[in-house]
Amino acid sequence: MTKGNVLVIGAGGQMGRVAVAALAEDGWEVTAASRGGGRDAAWPAEVRAVPLDRADGAALAAVVGEGSDVVVDLVAYDAEHAEQLIGLATAGRIGSAVVVSTAAVYEDDRGRNFDTQAEPDGFPRYPVPVPESQRTVAPGGATYGTRKVRLEQRLAEAGDVLPTTVLRAGAVHGVHCRTPRELYFVKRMLDGRRRHALAFGGASRFHPTHTSNIGELIRLAARAPGSRVLNAADPQAPSVAEIAAAIGRVMGVETPAVPFDGPPAADGVGDTPWSVPHPVVLDMAAAERELGYRPLTTYADSLPATVDYLTARLAAHGDWREAFPAMAATYGDALFDYASEDAWWAART
C-alpha cells in the first residue's frame, strides 16, 4: 500500500533525481515530470516518467490528471507558477505542495541583499545563522530573488487551499549539478595547480546544500503537509579554505591555500564561487523542530561522489566549457584564468 501519489516537477535536475528516488523509497507512487521526460537509472521501475513544459498550464493540468496528493515543484519561479498550483488545488486536484526557493530572498537590516552585492559595501551582513524570520527582499519581477519572494508570498496567501512547505536552499551541490562550484578546485588540481589564492582571508562561508539533504527535507515535508518556510542546508558551512582542503584530500593532492585580506584582485585572482565578504550561514533549527529533520550527509562526506562525477565528465568532454556549459555561461573564462594568476604570483615573489 502506497502513501499516495506525488508529482515531482523538475525531476530531471540534480535535486529532482534525488527527490524522486527518496519519495519512491518512502512508499509513494511517483510521477517524475521533466522537460525531456527521461528516467534516472537509480529510480525503481515503478516510477512513471513523463515530459512536461512547466510553463504550459494545460500540460501541467494533464499530468496532474484526476489528482496528486502532493506536488513537489523544483522549478517554480514566480507568482504565475504559484497560480497554476493554486488553481489546481482549488479544483480539488492537489492536496499539498513542497516548493524549492532560495536563500537569495534574504536581505539584511539595511536592505542589502544578493542584488546589491556589486555596489560599494553592498554585500549583506546577515545574522549568523540566518533564521527564516529574517526579512526578505520586496517582491517583484526584476531579479531571481524578487521573483522567488513573489512566488513564496502567493503560496502563503493560499495556504488554506494549498498547504505548501517552501524550502530556501543554500548553495546546492552534488552529482548532476549544472554549475558545480567544486569544479573550481577539482580542475585546478587536475591541471597541476598546487596552491590557491583565496580572497577575504580564505574565510568566506556560503552555506552548501547537498541534494540528498534536500531530498530528505522533501520526503519529510511530503509526509507532513503544512504552510511553512524552512531553510535547507547541510549541517555545517565550511570556509572556502576548508573546502579546498577537503577536495584536496579526496583527490590525494596537497594544495595549500594562500589567503589574503580583502576582496579579489582586480583581475579576479582570489575569487571563487564561494567567495563572499560576509558569511551566509542558514539556521536549520526550524526544520529539525518541525519535520524532525536530520541531515543524511555532510559536505565532506559527499565530496567523493561529486569529485568522481566531475573528473569523469571532464575526461569525457575534454574542454570544461563543453562538459559544463551552464558553468561557463555563469562564470566565464575568468574562472580558470591561469595567466592572470601566474602574473599575480610572480608579482608577490
- Three-state SS for 98-158 is EEEEEHHHEECCCCCEHHHCCCCCCCCCCCCCECCCCCECCCCCCCHHHHHHHHHHHHHHC
Number of CB atoms found within 10 A of residue 80's CB: 14
Percent of the chain predicted with pLDDT > 70 = 100
- Minimal CA–CA distance to 154: which of 139, 143, 169, 133? 139
pLDDT tens figures, 18-35: 999 999 999 999 999 999
pLDDT tens figures, 299-327: 999 999 999 999 999 999 989 999 999 99
Q: How large is the average pLDDT for residues 220-246?
A: 98
Cell of 51: 515530459
The pLDDT, as a whole number, for residue 195 is 93
The pLDDT, as a whole number, for residue 255 is 85
pLDDT tens figures, 82-117: 999 999 999 999 999 999 999 999 999 999 999 999
With cut-offs at 50, 70 and 90, classify the pLDDT of residue 194.
confident
Region of residue 49 (phi > 0: left; psi between -120 and 50: alpha; otherwise: beta): beta
Judge whether residue 160 has pLDDT over 70: yes
Cell of 345: 604570483
Helices 183-190 and 299-317 meet at what angle, rounded to 10?
Answer: 60
With cut-offs at 50, 70 and 90, classify the pLDDT of residue 1.
low
H/E run at residue 166: strand 164-169
The pLDDT, as a whole number, for residue 179 is 97
What pTM does this model have?
A: 0.97
pLDDT tens figures, 29-52: 999 999 999 999 999 999 999 999
With cut-offs at 50, 70 and 90, classify the pLDDT of residue 11.
very high
The pLDDT, as a whole number, for residue 240 is 98
The pLDDT, as a whole number, for residue 270 is 97
If you average pLDDT over every residue of the chain, what do you get?
A: 97
**Is 3.30.70.100 the CATH number for 76-342?**
no
